[in-house]
Structure formats: structure tokens, C-alpha cells
């Protein structure tokens, strides 16, 4: 697509944007009396205006119904999470029975690894991307130690080639094949948090399964951001947070996916709780755990209704927007425009002052652009913040900017690039 570097062109793109009205459903942080340019949805999504109403409604139910709220009222809490399974399934490419809402991301990762990391003397290794988000690294290390193995020998990390910032799919597959006889689990992020690289999850799943390993995904930066087809790709499991691109509040409720092929597998270990017991006999309080069919059988604790209310408010917006395909179309255009504008700044100064390490291929990235600052990185970030551009700083020299299609505009991208250019001479 041919872009132009002007405020008028950005306004034209905003006028043509079929999703433009959804911005009005969000509360935009203010900077000196005007809307800030919020490009940090990769870390925390904005609050939908409806969130307070959804939470207030459940607070009212708590006030008027107390414990009977689990069974009475217009939204009985006992089945509250079920209203969100279809919208969530639409976002991650799953069947409703394959998803549920529970806990937080790393808690869910640990719970799923109880089932899907079952090392043997021969098959005990885990393959993951080098430089994964620290929580994933810590989870893998602790799980490996729990089973009596040494992380240094057990965890295989795949790093980019020398001089490159991102991974090649062929190198991931090659590493899986190299260790095929030893692998128990392949665990990858959907999108690397630092570079913004979107991995080819279908190819990774196929390669992992061909090697005889289970395959799982941490979709913290992918869910609500890029198209996913977890069921069709055959992933064994996945988990994600809801507070980034799904805009469900700081520390918001997480979700899991467990493929249907595992729902009747009685050989899988799991840590059980009352909330995962079969629904039709749960209140008999009988000994001996019998799981509910589907992903709900991996639930452990009672649903946190107030967190789920915030999640429900956000998922409703996705449903109104037509779920992921329409959002993806705008995301490609919006992120592409910001990329063009940053490159224009570099051309203006005749130097690659801001190097984008996120893949140039649009099919290998989501909303995020990770930018290495050649010099004065933190000062550049601070200047952007002083001008109302809210991004994300990662040591030692990376600024992450993520234009989100639900609430960011092309004018946001244009103005952010304008301030980026100004920062050079400050």
C-alpha cells in the first residue's frame, strides 16, 4: 500500500476506517487536557467505558442477592463464565468446549504442564524460544526441577542467528528434529514480547507432534491481536492473559485451551478442584474427582465474578467488531502506516536512528513494532512521554509501540512519528 506522510492523509484514513467508532467505547488517558496517544496495548489495554457498568451490575447482584446470586437473578454466577465461551472461542480459533476462563496466565501454564509435561527417562526435554518472557522461563525451570531434572540440560532454547533479531521458522523446525527423540514438550509464545515476532504456530505444532512431543502456546501477546486457529492447528494446549489486547483490566482473568482430543484421556495428570468437577453432580460433594467434560474440567477454583464481568464487557466489543478478521485488516494497515512513518524519519535524517526489529513481513507480526534507538534511547522514550505518547521501554535500548485497531487512529500514528522526529533534536 502506498502511504503519505501528512496529517491530512492520516485524517483521510481515519474517515475511511470502518472501525473508527469503536474508539468511543474506550476511556482514553488524558495528557494536558487532550487524549494521550496510547500505544501500549501490548502491555495493558484501555478500559472499555462499559466495564464499570458490568462490574457495578454484579456488585448490585451481590448487594441484593448475596449468596443466592449464584443461582438467581438475571446473571446467575454459577453459569456466568459460560456466556463468554463462544466469544472467546471465536478469538482463539477453538470450539467452545475447548476453552474456559480461570486464574491468571502463569498459574494456568503450571496447571496445564501438570497434564502436558510428563517427562520420562528418555523424553524429558522442553524446547522454547530463547528470550521468552521471564515468567515462561521461570515456569519451565521450576517444572523441570520439580521432576528432578537439571534445567541446563533439559531446556533447549532456540535463538536467532548471529546478526539477526528474530527467529527463522526453519531453524525452529530444525532444532525440533535434532532433539526429536528427547522432547517431551514444545512450548512457544505466539508472539515474542520483546521483538514482536509472530511465530508460525501451525508449522511448530506439526513439527512438535511429528517429533512425538506435546505442543503448547503462551498467547499473552497474540490473543485478541492476531488470527488464531488453535483447534485446526492441533495444539494440545494454550493459555493467555486478557489484560493486553483483550482489554479486561490489570491482572485480569486468564483463559485456557485444551484440544478435544484430550478431553476423554483419563491418563493425563491434572491438579483438581471442586470447580472442575462434573456440573451435574457437583453439589453432591462426593469424594473422588470426576472432571467436567472439556476444558472446564481443568478448572480449580470458584469463578471470580468481578474479574469476569470486566472480561465480559471487553469481549462484547470484539463481538460487535466482528471478532478478529476485521480487526486484523485494520491492524495491518495501521501498523504498516506507523512503520512507514518511522522509516520516513530515518530517511529525513539519512541514518537508521530507529531500527525496527519486528519482522517487516506483515504476516510475521501483530500490532507491535519494537524499535532500537541508535542513541539516547531512554531520553527519546522520556521525550515521547512528555508529549503524551505512551509506549513501553525495554532495556537496554528498545521502545515498543503498539497501535491497537479497536482504539488507535492513523492520526495517533502520524502524531507519534512527528514527536519521534522532534526527539532527535532535543
- Reply yes or no on whether the pLDDT at 267 is more than 90: no
- Rounded to whole angstroms, the Cα distance separating 170 from 308 reads 40
Reported confidence tier of residue 152, pLDDT bands at 50, 70, 90 = very high
Q: What domains does the chain contain, in order, with CATH numbers?
A: 7-35+323-423 (3.90.1150.10), 55-320 (3.40.640.10)
Do strands 369-373 and 398-401 pair parallel, antiparallel, or not at all (unpaired)? antiparallel
Separation CA 139–CA 154 (nearest Å): 13
| Per-residue cell: 59 | 456488585
- Summary mean pLDDT of the chain: 97
Q: What is the mean pLDDT of residues 358-372?
A: 97
pLDDT in tens, 121-146: 999 999 999 999 999 999 999 999 99
| Mean pLDDT, residues 49-76 taken together | 97
Are 148 and 299 spatial neighbours (Cβ–Cβ below 8 Å)?
no
Q: What is the pTM of this model?
A: 0.96
Q: What is the mean pLDDT of residues 372-398?
A: 96
Model pLDDT for residues 191-221, shown as the tens digit of each residue: 999 999 999 999 999 999 999 999 999 999 9
Q: Reply yes or no on whether the pLDDT at 1 is more than 90.
A: no
Beta-carbon neighbour count of residue 120 at 10 Å? 9
Each residue's pLDDT tens digit, 63-98: 999 999 999 999 999 999 999 999 999 999 999 999
- Cα–Cα distance between 107 and 105 in angstroms, integer? 5
Ramachandran bin of 134, using left for φ above 0, alpha for ψ from -120 to 50, beta for the remaining angles: alpha
Determine the 3-state secondary structure of 35 from DSSP. Answer: strand
3-state helix, strand, coil in the chain (%, to 5): 45, 15, 40
Residue 33 has pLDDT above 90, yes or no: yes
User: What's the pLDDT score for residue 426?
Assistant: 81
Reduced to 3 states (helix: H, G, I; strand: E, B; else coil), residue 291 is strand
Angle at 393 between CA 423 and CA 129, to 5 degrees: 135
Q: Which among 285, 294, 361 is positioned nearest to 98, based on CA atoms?
A: 294
What is the reported pLDDT for 266? 83
- Among 420, 342, 339, CA closest to 380: 420
Cα 48 to Cα 66: distance, rounded to the nearest angstrom: 27
Q: Give the pLDDT of residue 162.
A: 97
As a whole-number percent, the residues of the chain with pLDDT over 90 amount to 98
In 116-219 the beta strands, taken as DSSP E runs, fall at 125-129, 155-158, 183-189, 214-218
Amino acid at each position: 500500500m502506498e502511504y503519505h506522510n501528512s496529517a491530512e492523509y492520516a485524517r483521510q484514513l481515519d474517515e475511511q476506517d470502518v472501525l473508527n467508532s469503536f474508539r468511543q467505547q474506550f476511556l482514553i488517558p488524558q495528557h494536558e487536557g487532550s487524549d494521550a496517544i496510547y500505544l501500549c496495548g501490548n502491555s495493558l489495554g484501555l478500559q472499555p467505558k462499559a466495564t464499570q457498568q458490568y462490574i457495578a451490575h454484579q456488585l448490585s447482584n451481590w448487594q441484593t442477592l448475596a449468596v443466592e446470586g449464584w443461582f438467581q437473578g438475571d446473571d446467575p454466577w454459577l453459569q456466568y463464565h459460560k456466556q463468554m465461551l463462544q466469544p472467546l472461542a471465536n478469538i482463539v480459533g477453538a470450539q467452545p468446549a475447548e476453552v474456559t476462563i480461570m486464574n491468571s496466565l502463569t498459574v494456568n501454564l503450571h496447571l496445564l504442564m501438570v497434564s502436558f509435561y510428563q517427562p520420562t527417562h528418555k523424553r524429558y526435554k522442553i524446547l522454547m524460544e530463547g528470550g521468552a518472557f521471564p515468567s515462561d522461563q521461570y515456569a519451565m525451570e521450576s517444572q523441570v526441577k520439580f521432576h528432578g531434572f537439571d534445567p541446563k540440560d533439559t531446556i533447549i532454547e532456540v535463538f536467532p542467528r548471529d546478526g539477526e533479531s528474530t527467529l527463522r521458522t526453519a531453524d525452529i523446525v530444525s532444532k525440533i528434529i535434532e532433539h526429536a527423540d528427547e522432547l517431551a514438550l514444545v512450548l512457544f509464545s505466539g508472539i515474542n514480547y520483546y521483538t514482536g515476532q509472530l511465530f508460525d504456530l501451525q508449522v511448530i505444532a506439526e513439527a512438535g507432534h511429528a517429533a512425538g512431543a506435546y505442543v503448547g502456546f503462551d498467547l499473552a501477546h497474540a490473543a485478541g491481536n492476531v488470527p488464531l486457529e488453535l483447534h485446526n492447528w492441533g495444539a494440545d494446549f494454550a493459555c493467555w492473559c486478557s489484560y493486553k489486547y483483550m482489554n479486561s483490566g490489570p491482572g485480569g482473568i486468564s483463559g485456557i485451551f485444551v484440544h478435544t482430543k484430550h478431553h476423554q484421556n483419563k491418563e493425563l495428570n491434572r491438579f483438581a478442584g471442586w470447580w472442575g468437577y462434573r456440573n451435574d453432580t457437583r453439589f453432591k460433594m462426593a469424594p473422588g474427582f470426576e472432571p467436567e467434560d472439556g476444558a472446564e474440567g481443568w478448572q480449580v477454583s470458584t469463578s471470580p465474578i468481578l474479574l469476569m464481568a470486566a472480561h465480559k464487557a471487553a469481549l462484547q466489543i470484539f463481538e460487535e467488531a466482528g471478532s478478529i478478521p476485521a480487526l486484523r485488516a485494520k491492524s495491518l494497515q495501521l501498523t504498516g502506516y506507523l512503520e512507514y512513518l518511522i522509516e520516513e524519519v530515518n530517511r529525513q535524517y539519512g541514518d537508521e536512528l530507529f531500527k525496527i526489529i519486528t519482522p517487516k513481513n506483515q504476516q510475521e507480526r501483530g500490532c507491535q513494532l519494537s524499535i532500537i534507538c541508535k542513541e539516547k534511547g531512554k531520553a527519546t522514550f522520556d521525550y515521547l512521554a512528555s508529549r503524551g505518547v505512551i509506549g513501553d521501554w525495554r532495556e537496554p535500548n528498545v521502545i515498543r509501540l503498539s497501535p491497537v485497531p479497536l482504539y488507535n487512529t492513523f492520526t495517533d500514528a502520524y502524531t507519534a512519528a512527528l514527536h519521534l522526529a522532534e526527539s532527535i533534536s532535543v
